[in-house]
Structure 1
């Protein structure tokens, strides 16, 4: 029997306080930091340890999330370098026939993100979409916040929650439940499509009145973050633009005349090449960058077919390749822009990308730090608990302990049990990792299924939905949702709020249907 201590209760109160603050549309840094200190103080009984935990929690979060920050920085710097050449507008031009307006852009982003994420996971998919399709969607009239919502639901949600191709998640769930992984995978696919379909439909309907006529000015202002277009709707919190690496004359050109709410700019100016840059060079980079990422997709397909061999990608290799291509593009584009100032311009673009990443996403670190206290893999470092003799973490698993204690109070009813496992999966995902809670929900599915008359495979798939839709990056702001918000250039907390209601509605509907259909 797991003993629930005072530290567990303080931590749980902290979670409730943070969620309540978030739903009230207020910033959650202060409650996150306060409950980080209070939890550490109660657990260790030492005021110095409680104060030190504030720093340690953010440091641990920074170590775990820096790879996401770096990819955001490099791709943002790459877009700044392409903008200086005028290649950004040329690069997105071929997609205009398909993404002619905000409605088509919304569903094109869904299809593209889901397809890439299903095969390669969202980690490499988000930068690819961010570099090529997000600018087109913005130009077509889709708000940046809606762009982030679409990518998060299709990639971090629908594709990752089923993990139907790579099948890591169904494998973990099935092993913990002691059932056939193929059945879990099939049911998880069905539930992911139901959840995603409901969430996307709700998001699309809510976004209809905010969709704007397409205009080059929308893209220009998104790139520069100069102003918000519609004062009558909820705006996307602007972060920052491209600082020193942005040409001042380019910024001046983006202030155009207006006709009501629509921004007017002659179509012929879409491909205006900055002074001193050859149109041929601008066209060359507009072609090379998409080709480079298409080649990367081809390599990912090759690697997938050769899984387990020396030629296959491992771990974060795909994300590293995305970042590496972005860095090389920055250097080559800076050289093409100005051989004389090549070194300085390259540094400016990289610096601007880093500044953007940390100014936009740095707020997440203390929040993630609080939730990492609940994870036994990180809590020891934050609380100052020495590791075991074999080097394994010795810190408390406050979140998982609380979840395990709650399972005894789930009534023996099929629908209630399924919703209970869904809730446990969602709570387990609050640490920002969509996979860490899968053994827990899988084992609960295996033990509860025969008792409540629902197949363990169905309950395992339901728990998988809760874990990954939550921690995988749809409404937990300190997860990989950071990357989506970074590329869409929106406030990550605003994006999490936008995703919350549609996704929760989809999860509840899919869970009820799972019990009714699969039993």
Structure 2
């Protein structure tokens, strides 16, 4: 919800509004309303569809969830950690780990909005989080049993890598075809010479379909939603916003429809699909890794709630904007 509206940082509204030739604030305000509607309906439907699978918390459920991390790997020896010996360290790390990552969140927020602190950009943020997690893992293994710490550290690292490959295995071949359709990736994938114009099959396909959208508010709104969803298939969500924004400006001018409304609808489709709910090779992979569930199962469970939310928000935009 926050990413689709991007109301605070306003990168997404800026991309949409600049291409559509409208005010950034106007797109941001409408995108905020549409994101709240989409998210609220999606959350409600997701709860109703999965409420039968919700069970009372218990130790058995925790053990089953933890066993998912080592599913398909070699069986390991019984844990050498003594509950009595490690009780103090367990309590310490239970407080230390969330406190450290909370400090990073606060630091990143200050770095974003304050000119005094240098901002963390690109892959530096991922490197910082990953390095910190590795250090905490090493310290936890040392505190539990320093004699077997090297063995335990290697086991945990191998388990994490194996889970990552199992989660991404079905996704990589599919994602490759969509990356070829994006000119930003096609140059390297097709090994084109430097300076050559890379094909953009995905965006060109969307532009070809523009002429088939009927000159009607209803069809234009849902056509823009579908175009936004198609541009989100590359797993980014933001890369297609200039296209949806420019199409919104063109359609709005020719049909007498508010371009800001169409731009907000296209932004919803692009970011909700590509930003991490319906595309397995997006940031949804990280969520699947944290929760230890197959990423494709998350996509299936997200599909109907998210689609219902997007349709409802588009209808709201048609009748009230």
Bucket of the pairwise TM-score, normalised by the shorter protein: over 0.9
User: Of residues 314, 331, 347 in structure 1, which corresponds to 2:138?
Assistant: 331
1:248 aligns with 78
TM-score, L = length of structure 2: 0.94
1:346 matched to which residue of 2?
Answer: 153
Question: What's the counterpart of residue 172 of structure 1?
Answer: 15
Aligned to 2:33: 190
Query: How do 1:103-114 and structure 2 match up within 5 A?
Result: none
For residue 210 of structure 1, the aligned residue among 49, 53, 64 is: 53
Give a deviation string over 1:162-213, Cα, whole Å, max 9, x none.
1111111111111111111111111101000101111111111111222112
Moved over 6 A (4+): none
1:445 pairs, out of 222, 228, 248, with: 248
Q: Hey, what does 2:278 align to over in structure 1?
A: 475
Say if 2:156 is the partner of 1:365: no
**Deviations for 1:330-389, whole angstroms, at most 9, x for unmatched residues?**
11011112222222322221122111111222221111111111111122332333231x
**Which ranges of structure 2 fall in alignment gaps of 5 or more residues?**
none
1:454·1:515 contact (CA, 8 Å) conserved in 2? no
| Alignment check: 8 A CA contact 1:482 1:492 kept | yes
**Deviation at residue 322 of structure 1 after TM alignment:** 2.1
CA contact (8 A) 1:242 1:352 kept: no
Q: Residues 439 and 371 of structure 1: is their aligned pair in 2 closer, same or farther, counting only changes over 3 Å?
A: same
User: What does residue 429 of structure 1 align with?
Assistant: 232
Structure 2 counterpart of 1:311, from 97, 115, 118? 118
Is the CA contact (8 Å cut-off) linking 1:361 and 1:486 kept in structure 2? no
**CA distance, structure 1, for counterparts of residue 177 and residue 78 of structure 2:** 41
Task: Give the conservation status (yes or no) of the 8 Å contact 2:221–2:314.
Answer: yes
* Count of aligned pairs between the two proteins: 321
Cα deviation, 1:417-442, whole Å, max 9, x if unaligned, reads 01101100101111111111000000
Distance of 2:76 and 2:36 partners within structure 1: 42
1:300 and 2:143 correspond: no
Contact 2:111 2:120 in 1 (8 A): yes
Residue 42 of structure 2 corresponds to 199
Contact 2:232 2:274 in 1 (8 A): yes
- How far apart, CA to CA, are the structure 1 residues paired with 2:57 and 2:178? 41
- 1:496 corresponds to 2:299: yes
Quick check: 1:159 aligned with 2:39?
A: no
